[in-house]
Structures are given as structure tokens and as C-alpha cells.
A and B are shown apart, each in its own frame.
Chain A
Amino acid sequence: MVDYLMPSLGADMKDGRVVEWHVHPGHTVHRGDVVGVVDTEKGAIEIEIWEDGVVREILVEPGRKVLVGEPLFRYQREAEAPVEPVARAEAPPVVPPAPAERREPAPPTPPPLAAAVPAPAESVRASPAARQRARELGIDLTAVQGSGPEGAVVVEDVLRHAEGVGKRVPGKLPPTTAAEGMRAAIAAAMSRSKREIPHYYLGTTVSLQKATDWLAALNRARTPDTRVLPVALTLKAVALAAREFPEMNGHWIDGAFRHSERVHAGLAISLRTGGLIAPAIHDADQKTLDALTTSVTDLVQRARSGRLRSSEITDATLTVSSLGDRGVDRLYGVIYPPQVALVGVGRPAHRPWVVEGALVVHPVIEITLSGDHRASDGHRGALFLERIGDLLQRPEEL
């Protein structure tokens, strides 16, 4: 039997509150399954299991706050499961199989332990702010009709429901503690970054003429739901370049750089309720532009409705911060520890550009690199940025 512990979803996370369970005793789980939702300073995060097995006992009921590293539930690994007929937490981890010739009746199966714990809450889509508000008002989210994306419950729904059932809603809303928690998480991570990481900064201006022409031609023939987003091109270019510059892709842990073979691009997403989060797009270098567009859209929607997965929160190997059509020409990012690089992409703008001695107007972007000087040097950083710029000149190969 194995205890599943409250995961650390960020270097500075101390505890988390169990929001709901998606599993119950007797439930068979597979590697990568979402087993429940934990509320953290970064909002509600879906936590995943990394082995096949069977859940045996839920140790923490929804609503309780638990420190990182404390057991949340108990499960049996796949390999152990077939030999243990009894599902009791106090049973020895593995019961040796009965010899084949003994033909005793199988021990009676005890009543399922499910009775001991509340039935797993229906999976409710809700924004972190809505969860917070519902908790403050003592409202069961499963009873609230959602009006957000895909029926997600938003704050307004909670307030409307509260009024409907006669709950007193204070006239003046208290400061949303969810937003404060997010602020505190960003403050802790960024302070640590600036305290520990010797940043260096580089920037270059890249013409997007070829990329925009190519993308416009591609999208012209497509319906809106299948069009490729421009950010997919920059993400792919950064991910491909990161493969060639291993010192940009990985983590600085315990005084040494650990390179990652896989490229998980963290995409900085600003939340309209305040704060930002940079969940990972796994294996961004292997994905087509269509797949990247789908990933970006899915990730942005889930980040905003509070449905990110624990692996997405912790896995990124470098971050891309893209301002899109709004904002400023260039940004100098703060590296998200323990990562060692952040690529900033400014707002595209039309600027004078020289092509073969002639002055023309091109759409251009400024790409910057914030690099960790412990893991890499400016010379390599410059080559890395140059490579990203080169890749964007051959969009058809992305």
C-alpha cells in the first residue's frame, strides 16, 4: 500500500486545500489520471497519479487544508492489487497469495469503505474565485447553475444562487483572497528568482513578413475553428531552438543545471481576475502548429476556469511570454525558478525595414531572452535568439 502525498505545485507552496475527489475506495486508476482537485495559491489544480493501481482509502475529506507531503489517500500499486482480496487500510501491504492446492473459500469481502467517506463530489467546473466565494458563503458548488465557458460556475452564479437560497451576501465584497493568494505566490517566486538567479538580458528584432504572409494564406482557406494562432509559430520556433541549445532548457537544482531532453514550453497566461500563470505545453517541439494552437486555446481556457493539471504547473522547462496584439514592443521577463530561461515576445508592429538595400515596411517583433548566467553565457544566448529568428523566416518548416 502506498500513500499519495500532497504534491508541491511550486517551490513556495506550503499547503493546499482538497476541493474534491474524483476517485473513491475501490476505484481503479491509471497513470496520468486526475484523482482530485486541490486549491492552491495558484488556483484550483487537478492532481494526477503516476502509477496504475486501486484506491483503497481517502484520508482527507474535501474542504480540509493539508501541508505539502502529508498523505491524502492510500492506494495499492497495480502489481500488488491482484493478490490482496481485502481492501483495508490497516491490512499488511501485501498478502502472500494462497498456495494453489488449498481450496479454502475466499475471505468475505468487507463492505466497501466508500460508506466511510463522502461520495466523491461531482466534478464541477468553476473558476478559482467562484470556489473561494462559495466556500466563504457555505454554498455547495454542485447545486449552482454555471453560466461560464462550458457551464463553468463563475462568481456571479454563486452570488445569484446565494440570493436564491436566502444566504446573506455582504453588500461590500471582501477582497478576494484567491487573488491575494495568487499575488503572494507570484511575489514569492519572483523574489526568489531575483535573489538567486543572475539574469542577463538580450534582445533582437525579427521580421514577421514571411510568417504573417504564410499564415494568412494558410488561414484564408480555413474556417475560424481551424485557424492557426500566430503564437503557435513563435512557440514552435522557441521549442525547436531550445532543442539545439540544451543549456536553455531544464532546471537549476541544488547548485547544478539539469538539462531536460523534452521541451515543455511554459506559456505565460494573464488571468483577467489578476495575476498570471505559466502552465506547460508538453513536448512543444514535437507538436504541429495545429496541435499547438489547440493546446494554447485549451490551456488558456482551463487556466481561466480553474482546471489546470499538476503536471502542467510543475513541468515547464522554459517559459515563453508573448504579449500578443496588445501591450508594448518588448518585455524583459523574470525567470521562473528553477527554470533557466525566459523568451519574451513583444507586440507585432509595422516598422521600416531594409531588404537588399531598399527601405520597406514589415511587421516586426522584438524577441528577448532572460537567461540564467549560472547555466549559460550571453554568447550562446545570442545564438539561441538568432536561431529563433531564423526559424521564423521559414514558417513552412515549423
Chain B
Amino acid sequence: MSASTEVAVRTKLLEMLRRIAPEIDPATLDPRESLRAQADLDSVSIMELVVAIHRELGIDVPETDYRELDTLDGAVRYLAARLPWG
């Protein structure tokens, strides 16, 4: 997939995260570190994120793959490879 697809997915993910956890500052997020730890996401927040990904990107992330969303970089790679229009 193209670099521009990854950029688009990253932008979209950050937008979702800002909605779910308005307190986080995307500028301070380390894309290689655990998102859950940095943004203090609990299971409800993770569910909100997965629901938003399903609704807005059309990707149904199964529960067994939730761990793929652990870091921002990991989540971008995982989602970009599964985009229905990618």
C-alpha cells in the first residue's frame, strides 16, 4: 500500500483517539509505544475505538486482533493493509 494511505489512516486514527480521549495530546504520543498506556485507554475506550474503526474505515477488527492496535504504528500498518478501498 502507498505511503499516502498510511498517512490517511494515521490521521483518521488520531482523530478517533481525540474523540474518545479528548485529554490526550497527539503531539506527545510515541507511535512505537503502547497507546493504551500513553492514552490511559481502558476496555470501554478500546471498544469505542474498534467501533469507530468499523464504522469509519469499514474494517471489522476481531477480538483476537485487538493487540495489533497496541501501538499507533502497529495499528496503522494493520489497518492500512485491510482497507476495503486500499
Please determine whether A300 and B42 come into contact, CB atoms closer than 8 angstroms. yes
Please determine whether B18 and A224 come into contact, CB atoms closer than 8 angstroms. no
A residues with a Cβ closer than 8 A to B are 127, 147-149, 152, 154-156, 216, 219-220, 223-225, 227, 229-231, 270, 272-273, 296-297, 300-301, 324-326
Which of A127, A152, A296 contacts B44 (CB under 8 A)?
A296
Q: In the complex, A155→B24 CA distance in Å?
A: 11
Complex interface: chain B residues within 8 A of A272 (CB): 21, 23-24, 40
Q: Identify whether the interface residues of B are mostly helix, strand, loop, or mixed.
A: helix
| 17 A-B contact pairs sorted by A residue (CB < 8 Å) | A155-B22, A220-B63, A224-B50, A224-B51, A225-B54, A229-B44, A272-B23, A273-B23, A296-B44, A297-B44, A297-B48, A300-B42, A300-B45, A324-B42, A325-B36, A325-B42, A325-B43
Q: In the complex, A326→B46 CA distance in Å?
A: 12
- Chain A residue nearest to B52 in the complex (CB): A224
Please determine whether A326 and B48 come into contact, CB atoms closer than 8 angstroms. no
Known: A219-B63, A220-B63, A224-B54. A149 touches B22 (CB 8 A): yes
Please determine whether B44 and A224 come into contact, CB atoms closer than 8 angstroms. no
Q: In the complex, A225→B18 CA distance in Å?
A: 19
Complex interface: chain A residues within 8 A of B23 (CB): 154, 272-273
Complex interface: chain A residues within 8 A of B44 (CB): 229, 296-297, 300-301
Residue of B20, B23, B53, B55 ringed by the most chain A CB atoms within 10 A: B23
Q: How far is the CB of A352 from chain B (nearest CB, A)?
A: 22
Chain B 11-42 interface residues, beta-carbon cutoff 8 Å to A: 18-24, 36-37, 40, 42
Q: How far is the CB of A233 from chain B (nearest CB, A)?
A: 12
Please determine whether A223 and B60 come into contact, CB atoms closer than 8 angstroms. yes
Please determine whether A229 and B20 come into contact, CB atoms closer than 8 angstroms. no
- Chain B residue nearest to A230 in the complex (CB): B43
Complex interface: chain B residues within 8 A of A297 (CB): 44, 47-48
Please determine whether B48 and A147 come into contact, CB atoms closer than 8 angstroms. no
- Chain A residue nearest to B50 in the complex (CB): A224
Number of interface residues of B (CB under 8 A): 26
B residues with a Cβ closer than 8 A to A are 18-24, 36-37, 40, 42-45, 47-48, 50-51, 53-55, 60-64
- Chain A residue nearest to B66 in the complex (CB): A325
- Chain A residue nearest to B20 in the complex (CB): A149
Please determine whether B22 and A147 come into contact, CB atoms closer than 8 angstroms. yes
Q: How far is the CB of A127 from chain B (nearest CB, A)?
A: 7
Please determine whether A225 and B51 come into contact, CB atoms closer than 8 angstroms. yes
- Chain B residue nearest to A127 in the complex (CB): B22
Please determine whether B63 and A216 come into contact, CB atoms closer than 8 angstroms. yes
Please determine whether B47 and A224 come into contact, CB atoms closer than 8 angstroms. yes
Q: How far is the CB of A326 from chain B (nearest CB, A)?
A: 6
Which of A154, A224, A229 contacts B22 (CB under 8 A)?
A154
Please determine whether A224 and B37 come into contact, CB atoms closer than 8 angstroms. no
Residue of B18, B51, B53, B63 ringed by the most chain A CB atoms within 10 A: B63
Q: In the complex, A21→B48 CA distance in Å?
A: 30
Q: In the complex, A147→B62 CA distance in Å?
A: 28
Which of B37, B51, B53, B64 contacts A326 (CB under 8 A)?
B37
Complex interface: chain B residues within 8 A of A324 (CB): 42-43
Q: How far is the CB of A155 from chain B (nearest CB, A)?
A: 8
Q: Which 10 A-B pairs have the closest CB atoms?
A: A154-B22, A300-B44, A224-B50, A148-B22, A272-B23, A224-B54, A224-B51, A225-B51, A324-B43, A324-B42
Q: How far is the CB of A303 from chain B (nearest CB, A)?
A: 10
Q: How far is the CB of B19 from chain A (nearest CB, A)?
A: 6
Please determine whether B54 and A223 come into contact, CB atoms closer than 8 angstroms. yes
Q: In the complex, A150→B60 CA distance in Å?
A: 22
Please determine whether A224 and B61 come into contact, CB atoms closer than 8 angstroms. yes
- Chain A residue nearest to B18 in the complex (CB): A147
Complex interface: chain A residues within 8 A of B45 (CB): 300
Which of A147, A216, A227 contacts B47 (CB under 8 A)?
A227
Q: In the complex, A225→B53 CA distance in Å?
A: 10
Q: In the complex, A229→B50 CA distance in Å?
A: 12
Please determine whether B36 and A326 come into contact, CB atoms closer than 8 angstroms. yes
- Chain B residue nearest to A148 in the complex (CB): B22
Q: In the complex, A127→B54 CA distance in Å?
A: 26
Please determine whether A326 and B22 come into contact, CB atoms closer than 8 angstroms. no
Complex interface: chain A residues within 8 A of B19 (CB): 147-149
Q: How far is the CB of A392 from chain B (nearest CB, A)?
A: 17
Complex interface: chain B residues within 8 A of A296 (CB): 44
- Chain A residue nearest to B59 in the complex (CB): A224
Complex interface: chain A residues within 8 A of B43 (CB): 229-231, 324-325
Q: In the complex, A149→B23 CA distance in Å?
A: 11
